Amino acid sequence: MISIKSPREIEAMRKSGAIIAGMHIGLRDIIKPGISSWVIEDFCRDYIESHGAVAAQIGFEGYEYATCVSINEEICHGFPRKHVMLKNGDLVKVDTVVELDGAFSDSCWSYAVGEVSDEVQKLMDVTKKSLYMGIDQAVIGNRIGDIGAVIQHYTEDENGFGDVREFVGHGIGPTMHEDPSVPAYGEAGRGPRLKEGMTITIEPMINMGTWKADVSDPSGWLAVTEDGGWSCQYEHTLAITKDGPKILTSQDPEFDAKYL
């Protein structure tokens, strides 16, 4: 069932989202060559808890960490690891969910470690732009498929990357994962119609090569690209309103001004 949120509930999600945003902003100074991915986990857990919120991924279906930290060819759900050191040129994705007074928000961001190659920078730029192209489709009366169609056309047809199919965005609040599913691929004009008060995540995961994922890792969590190509992800939580899509996890009020 798709839940419709009141203005009060959306405002509560915006407060939760502000904590995620602040955490991601702080990571810009944390992520650098030579640190372990566990340093990211420590920082994020401390940031969330020190702001009076709950790191909602801990305990979700047995997951043990506040963050997913996925590096290079890892698409998503990578564990933070003390023995894995970040190197210059790496691409790291940090995903987390925050719960504040019953309100949930979800956001993933990608970070260049030191200086990345032109190819990696293009992947990051295209993935981030595709997120915002999807957000622009999140208006009352459009359908879920309109979001995925523009992302897929831009990332695959125009730029030759692979648009992951195995993992999708979702409704959110008052629980972490709700209907509807929000694929970053698909056909325009298909799927549930967007209505005022819906809150969803849009989270394209874009690969340098094939879109196909390998989910055979013994952990039961980690997904990597089937061909070893690197992967990038950006994700925002947003609300569908009569004034257009409103980003609830914005890190940049100037860049996101039209969505606030």
* Burial status of residue 83 (CB atoms within 10 A of its CB: 0-12, 13-18, 19 or more): exposed
Radius of gyration of the chain (CA): 17
The helix-helix angle for 37-50 and 7-30 (nearest 10°) equals: 140
* Residue 235 labelled as part of a binding site: yes
> Is residue 203 marked as binding?
yes
Q: At how many degrees (to 10) do helices 118-136 and 144-152 cross? A: 160
Tokens of 165: 């199919």
- Flag whether 214 is marked binding: no
Return phi, psi of residue 27, to 5°: -65, -20
Q: Is 29 annotated as a binding residue?
A: no
Six token digits for residue 179: 């209907």
Rounded (10°) CA dihedral 96, 31, 88, 117:
60
Coil, strand, or helix at residue 32?
coil
CB 124 within 8 A of CB 232: yes
Q: Is 217 annotated as a binding residue?
A: no
Phi and psi of 55, rounded to 5°?
A: -80, 95
Judge whether 170 is annotated as a binding position.
Answer: yes
| Residue 196 marked in a binding site | no
What is the rounded distance in angstroms from the CA atom of residue 126 to the CA atom of residue 154? 8
CA–CA dist 215, 223 (Å, integer): 5
Instruction: Please give the annotated binding residues for substrate, written as ranges.
Output: 77, 177
Instruction: Please give the annotated binding residues, written as ranges.
Output: 77, 95, 106, 170, 177, 203, 235
Instruction: Please give the annotated binding residues for a divalent metal cation, written as ranges.
Output: 95, 106, 170, 203, 235
